[in-house]
Structure 1
Amino acid sequence: MSTLSLRAQEKEIKWMTWEEAATANEKAPKKIFVDVYTDWCGWCKKMDQTTFKDSAVVEVMNKDFYAIHLNAEQKETIHWKGYDFNWVAGGRGGTNELASIILDGQMSFPTFVMLDSDYKTIAISPGYQLGDSLIKQLKFAAGEIYKTMDWQTYLSKS
Protein backbone atom coordinates (compact mmCIF):
# COMPACT_ATOMS: atom_id res chain seq x y z
CA MET A 1 0.00 0.00 0.00
CA SER A 2 1.35 3.43 -0.90
CA THR A 3 2.12 6.16 1.62
CA LEU A 4 -0.65 8.27 0.09
CA SER A 5 -3.17 5.45 0.60
CA LEU A 6 -2.06 4.98 4.20
CA ARG A 7 -2.29 8.72 4.84
CA ALA A 8 -5.80 8.84 3.38
CA GLN A 9 -6.84 6.15 5.86
CA GLU A 10 -5.65 8.12 8.89
CA LYS A 11 -8.65 9.18 10.88
CA GLU A 12 -6.99 11.06 13.71
CA ILE A 13 -4.37 13.72 14.13
CA LYS A 14 -1.15 12.35 15.60
CA TRP A 15 -1.01 14.58 18.67
CA MET A 16 2.31 14.85 20.49
CA THR A 17 3.64 16.45 23.62
CA TRP A 18 5.94 19.44 23.23
CA GLU A 19 8.94 17.26 24.05
CA GLU A 20 7.94 14.53 21.54
CA ALA A 21 7.48 17.09 18.77
CA ALA A 22 10.82 18.75 19.58
CA THR A 23 12.60 15.39 19.38
CA ALA A 24 10.89 14.51 16.08
CA ASN A 25 11.67 17.99 14.70
CA GLU A 26 15.38 17.52 15.43
CA LYS A 27 15.42 14.37 13.29
CA ALA A 28 13.10 15.53 10.49
CA PRO A 29 12.22 19.25 10.57
CA LYS A 30 8.61 20.25 9.90
CA LYS A 31 6.26 23.06 10.78
CA ILE A 32 4.70 22.80 14.24
CA PHE A 33 1.01 23.30 15.04
CA VAL A 34 0.16 23.95 18.68
CA ASP A 35 -3.44 23.68 19.86
CA VAL A 36 -3.51 25.59 23.15
CA TYR A 37 -6.58 24.56 25.12
CA THR A 38 -7.95 24.12 28.63
CA ASP A 39 -10.04 21.34 30.13
CA TRP A 40 -12.95 23.71 30.85
CA CYS A 41 -13.10 25.26 27.35
CA GLY A 42 -16.32 24.25 25.56
CA TRP A 43 -15.15 25.49 22.14
CA CYS A 44 -11.92 23.51 22.55
CA LYS A 45 -13.95 20.34 23.10
CA LYS A 46 -16.13 21.13 20.09
CA MET A 47 -13.03 21.50 17.90
CA ASP A 48 -11.77 18.13 19.14
CA GLN A 49 -15.10 16.57 18.14
CA THR A 50 -15.52 18.31 14.78
CA THR A 51 -12.68 20.26 13.15
CA PHE A 52 -9.90 17.96 14.32
CA LYS A 53 -11.87 14.94 13.01
CA ASP A 54 -12.31 16.47 9.53
CA SER A 55 -10.49 14.11 7.15
CA ALA A 56 -8.94 16.96 5.14
CA VAL A 57 -7.63 18.62 8.32
CA VAL A 58 -6.24 15.28 9.56
CA GLU A 59 -4.47 14.68 6.24
CA VAL A 60 -2.79 18.10 6.04
CA MET A 61 -1.93 18.14 9.73
CA ASN A 62 -0.30 14.69 9.74
CA LYS A 63 1.56 15.31 6.47
CA ASP A 64 2.93 18.80 7.05
CA PHE A 65 3.05 19.40 10.82
CA TYR A 66 4.01 18.05 14.17
CA ALA A 67 0.78 18.61 16.07
CA ILE A 68 0.94 19.46 19.76
CA HIS A 69 -2.02 19.47 22.15
CA LEU A 70 -0.90 21.89 24.90
CA ASN A 71 -3.07 22.31 27.96
CA ALA A 72 -2.45 25.92 29.00
CA GLU A 73 -3.07 24.93 32.61
CA GLN A 74 -0.78 21.90 32.54
CA LYS A 75 0.96 21.49 35.89
CA GLU A 76 3.67 19.15 34.60
CA THR A 77 6.92 20.93 33.79
CA ILE A 78 7.87 21.07 30.11
CA HIS A 79 11.61 20.62 29.51
CA TRP A 80 12.90 22.13 26.28
CA LYS A 81 16.24 23.50 25.07
CA GLY A 82 17.68 23.52 28.56
CA TYR A 83 14.74 25.40 30.08
CA ASP A 84 12.00 24.27 32.43
CA PHE A 85 8.56 25.75 31.81
CA ASN A 86 6.50 25.47 34.97
CA TRP A 87 2.94 26.00 36.07
CA VAL A 88 2.51 29.41 37.65
CA ALA A 89 -0.40 30.26 39.94
CA GLY A 90 -2.46 33.27 38.97
CA GLY A 91 -5.91 34.48 38.00
CA ARG A 92 -8.52 31.76 38.48
CA GLY A 93 -5.93 29.01 38.70
CA GLY A 94 -2.71 29.23 36.80
CA THR A 95 -0.97 28.59 33.50
CA ASN A 96 2.08 26.89 32.15
CA GLU A 97 4.80 29.41 31.31
CA LEU A 98 5.29 27.99 27.81
CA ALA A 99 1.62 28.48 26.93
CA SER A 100 1.82 32.09 28.07
CA ILE A 101 5.01 32.68 26.07
CA ILE A 102 3.81 31.23 22.76
CA LEU A 103 0.48 33.09 23.09
CA ASP A 104 2.28 36.38 23.80
CA GLY A 105 0.35 36.55 27.06
CA GLN A 106 -3.03 36.64 25.26
CA MET A 107 -4.69 33.79 27.12
CA SER A 108 -7.85 32.89 25.19
CA PHE A 109 -8.96 29.43 24.17
CA PRO A 110 -8.82 27.74 21.84
CA THR A 111 -5.85 29.41 20.21
CA PHE A 112 -3.60 27.87 17.58
CA VAL A 113 0.02 28.73 17.06
CA MET A 114 1.91 27.73 13.95
CA LEU A 115 5.69 27.69 14.18
CA ASP A 116 8.36 27.05 11.60
CA SER A 117 10.88 24.28 12.22
CA ASP A 118 13.11 26.80 14.04
CA TYR A 119 10.22 27.64 16.42
CA LYS A 120 9.64 31.10 14.97
CA THR A 121 5.99 32.13 15.05
CA ILE A 122 4.22 32.02 11.70
CA ALA A 123 0.76 32.83 13.05
CA ILE A 124 -1.31 32.96 16.22
CA SER A 125 -4.98 32.30 15.55
CA PRO A 126 -7.48 32.60 18.41
CA GLY A 127 -10.98 31.16 18.45
CA TYR A 128 -13.01 28.26 17.16
CA GLN A 129 -12.26 27.30 13.56
CA LEU A 130 -14.25 25.27 11.05
CA GLY A 131 -12.35 22.77 8.92
CA ASP A 132 -12.23 24.91 5.75
CA SER A 133 -10.91 27.92 7.64
CA LEU A 134 -8.26 25.88 9.44
CA ILE A 135 -7.12 24.20 6.20
CA LYS A 136 -6.52 27.63 4.62
CA GLN A 137 -4.33 28.55 7.59
CA LEU A 138 -2.48 25.24 7.50
CA LYS A 139 -1.76 25.62 3.77
CA PHE A 140 -0.62 29.21 4.32
CA ALA A 141 2.00 27.91 6.74
CA ALA A 142 2.87 24.57 5.12
CA GLY A 143 3.27 26.11 1.67
CA GLU A 144 5.43 28.89 3.13
CA ILE A 145 3.11 31.46 1.58
CA TYR A 146 3.69 33.60 4.70
CA LYS A 147 7.21 34.31 3.41
CA THR A 148 5.91 36.25 0.40
CA MET A 149 2.39 37.37 1.34
CA ASP A 150 0.59 38.54 4.45
CA TRP A 151 -2.47 36.72 5.76
CA GLN A 152 -5.04 39.33 4.64
CA THR A 153 -3.68 39.37 1.08
CA TYR A 154 -3.70 35.57 1.01
CA LEU A 155 -7.33 35.50 2.18
CA SER A 156 -8.41 38.00 -0.47
CA LYS A 157 -6.80 35.88 -3.22
CA SER A 158 -7.98 32.46 -2.05
Structure 2
Amino acid sequence: MKNLLFLLAFLFCLSTQAQEIQWMSMNEALEAQKKEPKKIFMDVYTDWCGPCKLLDKKTFHNKDVVSYVNTNYYAVKFNAEGTEEVHYNDFTYTNPNHNPDKKGRNSQHFFANALKITGYPSMVFFDEKGNLIAPVVGYKTPKQLEIYLKMIHKNDYKKLTSADAWKKYESSFVSTFTN
Protein backbone atom coordinates (compact mmCIF):
# COMPACT_ATOMS: atom_id res chain seq x y z
CA MET A 1 0.00 0.00 0.00
CA LYS A 2 2.82 2.36 0.88
CA ASN A 3 4.48 1.70 -2.51
CA LEU A 4 1.20 2.39 -4.32
CA LEU A 5 0.80 5.73 -2.54
CA PHE A 6 4.38 6.63 -3.38
CA LEU A 7 3.82 5.71 -7.04
CA LEU A 8 0.62 7.78 -7.22
CA ALA A 9 2.33 10.77 -5.60
CA PHE A 10 5.25 10.45 -8.03
CA LEU A 11 2.94 10.26 -11.06
CA PHE A 12 0.99 13.28 -9.80
CA CYS A 13 4.19 15.29 -9.44
CA LEU A 14 5.24 14.36 -12.98
CA SER A 15 1.88 15.40 -14.41
CA THR A 16 1.88 18.77 -12.64
CA GLN A 17 5.41 19.76 -13.61
CA ALA A 18 5.44 22.68 -16.01
CA GLN A 19 6.14 21.69 -19.56
CA GLU A 20 9.05 23.46 -21.15
CA ILE A 21 9.78 24.57 -24.66
CA GLN A 22 12.45 22.32 -26.14
CA TRP A 23 15.04 25.02 -26.89
CA MET A 24 18.03 24.40 -29.11
CA SER A 25 20.73 26.44 -30.81
CA MET A 26 20.28 27.85 -34.31
CA ASN A 27 22.92 25.44 -35.60
CA GLU A 28 21.01 22.49 -34.12
CA ALA A 29 17.72 23.71 -35.60
CA LEU A 30 19.21 24.15 -39.07
CA GLU A 31 20.67 20.65 -38.84
CA ALA A 32 17.32 19.22 -37.67
CA GLN A 33 15.60 20.86 -40.65
CA LYS A 34 17.72 18.71 -42.98
CA LYS A 35 16.19 15.56 -41.50
CA GLU A 36 12.66 16.82 -40.82
CA PRO A 37 11.68 20.18 -42.33
CA LYS A 38 9.90 22.45 -39.83
CA LYS A 39 9.75 26.19 -39.36
CA ILE A 40 12.03 27.78 -36.75
CA PHE A 41 10.80 30.00 -33.94
CA MET A 42 13.67 31.99 -32.39
CA ASP A 43 13.61 33.90 -29.12
CA VAL A 44 16.21 36.69 -29.36
CA TYR A 45 16.98 38.00 -25.88
CA THR A 46 19.66 39.68 -23.78
CA ASP A 47 20.63 39.00 -20.18
CA TRP A 48 19.75 42.54 -19.03
CA CYS A 49 16.31 42.72 -20.72
CA GLY A 50 13.41 42.82 -18.23
CA PRO A 51 10.66 42.12 -20.81
CA CYS A 52 12.75 39.15 -22.06
CA LYS A 53 12.66 37.64 -18.57
CA LEU A 54 8.93 38.28 -18.33
CA LEU A 55 8.42 36.58 -21.70
CA ASP A 56 10.35 33.56 -20.40
CA LYS A 57 8.42 33.42 -17.14
CA LYS A 58 4.89 34.13 -18.40
CA THR A 59 4.56 33.39 -22.11
CA PHE A 60 7.12 30.64 -22.69
CA HIS A 61 5.82 28.64 -19.72
CA ASN A 62 2.18 28.85 -20.82
CA LYS A 63 1.01 25.29 -21.55
CA ASP A 64 -0.67 26.27 -24.83
CA VAL A 65 2.43 28.09 -26.10
CA VAL A 66 4.72 25.24 -25.02
CA SER A 67 2.58 22.62 -26.72
CA TYR A 68 2.13 24.59 -29.96
CA VAL A 69 5.79 25.56 -30.29
CA ASN A 70 7.10 22.07 -29.47
CA THR A 71 4.71 20.47 -31.96
CA ASN A 72 5.07 22.88 -34.88
CA TYR A 73 8.50 24.52 -34.68
CA TYR A 74 12.13 24.04 -33.85
CA ALA A 75 12.54 26.47 -30.97
CA VAL A 76 15.79 28.44 -30.78
CA LYS A 77 17.00 30.49 -27.83
CA PHE A 78 19.54 33.09 -28.97
CA ASN A 79 21.40 35.60 -26.80
CA ALA A 80 21.80 38.66 -29.03
CA GLU A 81 24.86 39.73 -27.05
CA GLY A 82 26.34 36.27 -26.57
CA THR A 83 29.33 34.54 -28.13
CA GLU A 84 27.76 31.54 -29.86
CA GLU A 85 29.00 30.88 -33.40
CA VAL A 86 26.09 30.66 -35.83
CA HIS A 87 26.58 29.01 -39.22
CA TYR A 88 23.88 30.46 -41.48
CA ASN A 89 23.72 30.79 -45.27
CA ASP A 90 27.37 29.85 -45.81
CA PHE A 91 28.62 32.42 -43.29
CA THR A 92 29.78 32.11 -39.69
CA TYR A 93 28.39 34.83 -37.44
CA THR A 94 30.20 35.69 -34.21
CA ASN A 95 30.42 38.49 -31.69
CA PRO A 96 34.09 39.53 -31.75
CA ASN A 97 33.42 42.73 -29.81
CA HIS A 98 31.85 40.91 -26.84
CA ASN A 99 33.46 41.94 -23.55
CA PRO A 100 33.06 39.17 -20.94
CA ASP A 101 33.96 41.60 -18.13
CA LYS A 102 31.24 44.09 -19.03
CA LYS A 103 28.12 44.23 -16.87
CA GLY A 104 24.78 45.11 -18.51
CA ARG A 105 24.63 45.87 -22.21
CA ASN A 106 27.28 44.37 -24.44
CA SER A 107 28.01 44.41 -28.16
CA GLN A 108 25.36 42.98 -30.47
CA HIS A 109 26.09 39.61 -32.08
CA PHE A 110 26.61 39.87 -35.84
CA PHE A 111 23.75 37.38 -36.41
CA ALA A 112 21.30 39.60 -34.50
CA ASN A 113 22.56 42.50 -36.58
CA ALA A 114 22.09 40.52 -39.82
CA LEU A 115 18.49 39.79 -38.76
CA LYS A 116 18.02 43.56 -38.23
CA ILE A 117 17.01 43.11 -34.59
CA THR A 118 16.13 46.55 -33.24
CA GLY A 119 14.69 45.71 -29.84
CA TYR A 120 14.37 43.03 -27.19
CA PRO A 121 12.76 40.68 -26.88
CA SER A 122 12.33 39.77 -30.53
CA MET A 123 10.86 36.58 -31.86
CA VAL A 124 12.08 35.63 -35.31
CA PHE A 125 10.46 33.15 -37.67
CA PHE A 126 12.24 31.14 -40.37
CA ASP A 127 10.69 28.85 -42.99
CA GLU A 128 11.39 25.12 -43.42
CA LYS A 129 14.54 25.89 -45.42
CA GLY A 130 15.94 28.33 -42.87
CA ASN A 131 14.98 31.46 -44.80
CA LEU A 132 14.02 34.48 -42.71
CA ILE A 133 10.26 35.16 -42.64
CA ALA A 134 9.91 37.99 -40.13
CA PRO A 135 10.86 39.28 -36.69
CA VAL A 136 8.23 40.26 -34.13
CA VAL A 137 9.55 42.80 -31.63
CA GLY A 138 8.39 43.21 -28.05
CA TYR A 139 6.84 41.33 -25.18
CA LYS A 140 3.77 39.29 -26.11
CA THR A 141 1.24 37.53 -23.91
CA PRO A 142 0.36 33.97 -24.90
CA LYS A 143 -2.77 35.19 -26.72
CA GLN A 144 -0.82 37.93 -28.51
CA LEU A 145 1.86 35.47 -29.60
CA GLU A 146 -0.69 32.87 -30.69
CA ILE A 147 -1.75 34.80 -33.78
CA TYR A 148 1.84 34.93 -35.05
CA LEU A 149 2.58 31.28 -34.22
CA LYS A 150 -0.51 30.06 -36.07
CA MET A 151 -0.38 32.54 -38.96
CA ILE A 152 3.21 31.62 -39.78
CA HIS A 153 2.83 27.88 -39.17
CA LYS A 154 -0.17 27.75 -41.54
CA ASN A 155 1.53 30.01 -44.14
CA ASP A 156 -1.30 32.56 -43.86
CA TYR A 157 1.33 35.32 -43.72
CA LYS A 158 1.88 34.83 -47.47
CA LYS A 159 -1.64 36.12 -48.14
CA LEU A 160 -1.25 39.25 -46.00
CA THR A 161 0.10 41.71 -48.53
CA SER A 162 -1.28 44.93 -47.04
CA ALA A 163 -2.10 46.58 -43.73
CA ASP A 164 -5.80 46.16 -44.51
CA ALA A 165 -5.34 42.42 -45.11
CA TRP A 166 -3.53 42.15 -41.74
CA LYS A 167 -6.32 44.06 -39.93
CA LYS A 168 -8.97 41.82 -41.48
CA TYR A 169 -6.99 38.69 -40.55
CA GLU A 170 -6.36 39.93 -37.02
CA SER A 171 -10.01 40.88 -36.44
CA SER A 172 -11.23 37.48 -37.63
CA PHE A 173 -8.69 35.50 -35.57
CA VAL A 174 -10.18 33.40 -32.78
CA SER A 175 -7.79 32.70 -29.93
CA THR A 176 -7.73 29.33 -28.19
CA PHE A 177 -4.75 29.96 -25.89
CA THR A 178 -5.17 30.89 -22.25
CA ASN A 179 -3.27 33.81 -20.75
Query: Normalising TM by the smaller chain, what interval?
Result: 0.7 to 0.9
Instruction: State the TM-score, normalized to the length of structure 1.
Output: 0.85
- Per the TM alignment, residue 117 of structure 1 is displaced from its structure 2 partner at its CA by 1.1
Paired residue secondary structure (1:87): coil
Query: Which structure 2 segments of 5+ residues have no match?
Result: 1-16, 99-104, 174-179
Structure 2 CA distance, aligned partners of 1:10 and 1:40?
25
Identity of aligned residues (%): 37
Query: Over residues 55-98 of structure 1, what are the superposed CA-to-partner deviations in whole Å (9 max), with x where a residue is unaligned?
Result: 000011001100100000112322334321010438x5311111
C-alpha distance in structure 2 between counterparts of 1:126 and 1:80, whole Å = 21
Q: 1:79 to 1:121 in 2, by over 3 A?
A: closer
The equivalent of 1:110 in structure 2 is: 121
Q: Does 1:72 align with 2:80?
A: yes
Q: Which runs of 4+ in 1 moved over 6 A?
A: none
TM value normalised by structure 2: 0.76
Q: For 1:63 and 1:156, how far apart are their aligned partners in 2?
A: 26
Alignment partners' CA distance in 2, 1:31 and 1:77 = 21
Distance 1:136 1:145 in 2: 10
Give the number of aligned pairs: 147
3-state SS of paired residue (2:60): helix
- DSSP 3-state at the match of 2:108: strand
Indicate the larger mover: 58-67 or 79-88: 79-88
- In our comparison, the structure showing a higher alpha carbon Rg is 2
Quote the residue 2:34 is aligned against. Answer: 26
1:14 aligns with 2:22: yes
Question: How far apart are the structure 2 equivalents of 1:80 and 1:101?
Answer: 10
Residue number in structure 2 paired with 1:121: 132
Q: Match of 2:63?
A: 55
User: What stretches of structure 1 of length at least 5 have no aligned partner?
Assistant: 1-8
Q: C-alpha distance in 1, partners of 2:167/2:131?
A: 20
Q: Distance in 2 between matches of 1:125 and 1:152?
A: 16
* Amino acid paired to 1:113: V
Give, in whole Å, the separation in 2 of the partners of 1:152 and 1:100: 29
